[in-house]
C-alpha cells in the first residue's frame, strides 16, 4: 500500500539532505524495445495535493489513469528526469547494466541533481557517488518511487506505440514488447524485427 505520509522520504530529509531523487524503470522484461528509467525530485517543502492522491504502482493503474497522472507528476514535482537505453545497448551490456545506465541518464538529465537517491528494487546503482537506498517493491510502497514508475511506464508505452507504427506485424500496441503468446506467435512467423533484443533467449532461439 502506498505511503501517502511520505514516511521514508521525510526520514531521509531529516538527515539534512535537501533533495531526494526517486527512481524506477519500465521495460526490463520485454523481448523488444528500450528500457526506460525515471527520476522524480522532491524536497522538504513537497506535499501531496488532491491531484496526486491516485498515484500508485504503475502496474495497478489503467493506461488512461497513468496518462493523466503523468502530466500531474510533471506539474507538481520539483523536477522529472527520463533516461532511455535502446535494444542495441541492452544486447551489448546486458539488461541489468542497461537499466543502471538508463537510471544514470535520468539523473543526469535533471538540472538540480538530488543529494540522495531512493530506488525500486534491491540493487544499488554501481559507480554512483550519490548516497542511495533501495526498496524492494518500492513502487507499491513509497510514494515518490510510485510516481517515478508512472513516468517510466508512460514514456516507454509511448515509445512502443511509435514502434507499432514502424513494425505493425508484431502487435506492439497490445503487449509493448512483452513475451505474450500473441507476440511469440508473430515473432515465430516473421522473425525478429530491428528492435528485438537478440540477446534474450526467446528471441535468440528464433534467429
Closest C-alpha to 104, from 196, 206, 93 = 93
What is the reported pLDDT for 60? Answer: 96
**Residue 146 has what pLDDT?**
98
Per-residue pLDDT tens digits for 26-70: 999 999 999 999 999 999 999 999 999 999 999 999 999 999 999
Mean pLDDT by 10 residues, the chain (207 residues): 96 97 98 98 96 97 98 97 98 98 98 96 97 98 98 98 98 97 96 97 86
Q: How far apart are CA 72 and CA 66, in angstroms?
A: 10
Model confidence, pTM: 0.97
Number of other residues whose CB lies within 10 A of the CB of residue 13: 19
Taking the C-alpha atoms of residue 139 and residue 143, their distance in angstroms, rounded to an integer, is 7
- What is the structure's pLDDT at 191? 94
How high is the pLDDT of residue 206? 79
| Per-residue pLDDT at 193 | 97
Pairing of the two strands 132-135 and 116-120: parallel
Q: How many CB atoms neighbour CB 36 within 10 A?
A: 28
Topology given in CATH for the domain delimited by 7-168: Nucleotidyltransferase; domain 5 (3.30.420)
Amino acid at each position: 500500500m502506498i505511503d501517502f505520509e511520505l514516511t521514508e522520504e521525510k526520514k531521509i530529509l531529516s538527515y539534512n539532505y535537501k533533495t531526494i531523487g526517486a527512481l524506477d524503470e519500465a521495460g526490463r522484461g520485454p523481448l523488444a524495445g528500450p528500457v526506460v528509467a525515471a527520476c522524480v525530485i522532491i524536497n522538504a517543502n513537497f506535499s501531496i495535493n488532491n491531484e496526486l492522491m491516485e498515484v500508485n504502482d504503475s502496474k495497478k493503474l489503467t493506461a488512461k489513469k497513468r496518462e493523466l497522472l503523468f502530466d500531474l507528476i510533471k506539474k507538481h514535482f520539483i523536477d522529472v528526469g527520463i533516461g532511455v537505453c535502446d535494444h542495441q545497448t541492452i544486447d551489448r551490456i546486458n539488461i541489468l547494466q542497461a537499466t543502471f545506465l538508463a537510471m544514470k541518464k535520468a539523473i543526469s538529465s535533471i538540472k538540480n541533481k538530488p543529494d540522495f537517491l531512493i530506488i525500486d528494487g534491491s540493487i544499488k546503482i554501481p559507480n554512483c557517488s550519490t548516497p542511495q537506498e533501495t526498496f524492494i517493491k518500492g513502487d507499491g510502497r513509497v510514494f515518490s518511487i510510485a510516481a517515478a514508475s508512472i513516468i517510466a511506464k508512460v514514456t516507454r508505452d509511448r515509445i512502443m506505440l511509435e514502434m507499432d507504427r514502424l513494425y505493425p506485424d508484431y502487435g506492439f500496441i497490445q503487449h509493448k514488447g512483452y513475451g505474450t503468446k500473441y507476440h511469440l506467435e508473430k515473432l515465430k512467423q516473421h522473425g525478429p524485427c530491428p528492435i528485438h533484443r537478440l540477446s534474450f533467449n526467446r528471441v535468440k532461439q528464433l534467429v
